Amino acid sequence: MLGHYPAYVNKAAELGARRFNIPPSVWGKMSDAQRWTANQKFLDRMIARGDEVVLATPAAQARAGSFFARELEYLAGKGYAPSANGMRMVPGQ
């Protein structure tokens, strides 16, 4: 599951879905490049499984320049497209 805080956290807990999470003490010491590398690994695992990705925040509401927007662009670059209602990223055939 991907999305913006706090919907992402709440929805993942509700559905028992996998979410990307790193303790603040570790995240705070990482460079931007290290943060994105860790984030990308999480996305690559979803892509390798061929998962449909549930969005806690609609794609259209992604904040410009946010990690969430970047995650969506990364998935799209791997052939994932937003579903009609914008609440999922669906792998290409």
Partner 1 sequence: MRRAPMGCGWCQGNETPMTIEGNLKAVAGQLLAVIGLPCNDVIHEAQRLDHFGDGEVVFEVGPLHLRFLRERGQDFLDVSPASAPGEYHPFGDVELAMGWKTVDEVWMRSEPEPLPEILQRLRRHYQQLQEAFSGTQVHATLAKLDFASRRRGAAFVDHLRRLAEEAQRK
List contacts with partner 1 (CB under 8 A).
4-6, 9, 21-24, 27-28, 35, 58-70, 72-73, 76-82, 86, 92-93
Min dist CB 25 to partner 1, Å, is 9
Min dist CB 76 to partner 1, Å, is 4
Nearer to partner 1, 45 or 68 (CB): 68
Min dist CB 11 to partner 1, Å, is 12
Q: Which residues pair with 88 in a beta bridge?
A: 54
Which residue bears the tokens 């559905």?
15
Under 8 Å CB-to-CB from 26, ≥6 apart: which residues? none
Nearer to partner 1, 46 or 72 (CB): 72
**Whole-angstrom Cα distance, residue 85 to residue 33?**
32
Edge-to-edge, what's the strand order for the sheet holding 81-82? 53-54, 88-90, 81-82
Min dist CB 82 to partner 1, Å, is 5
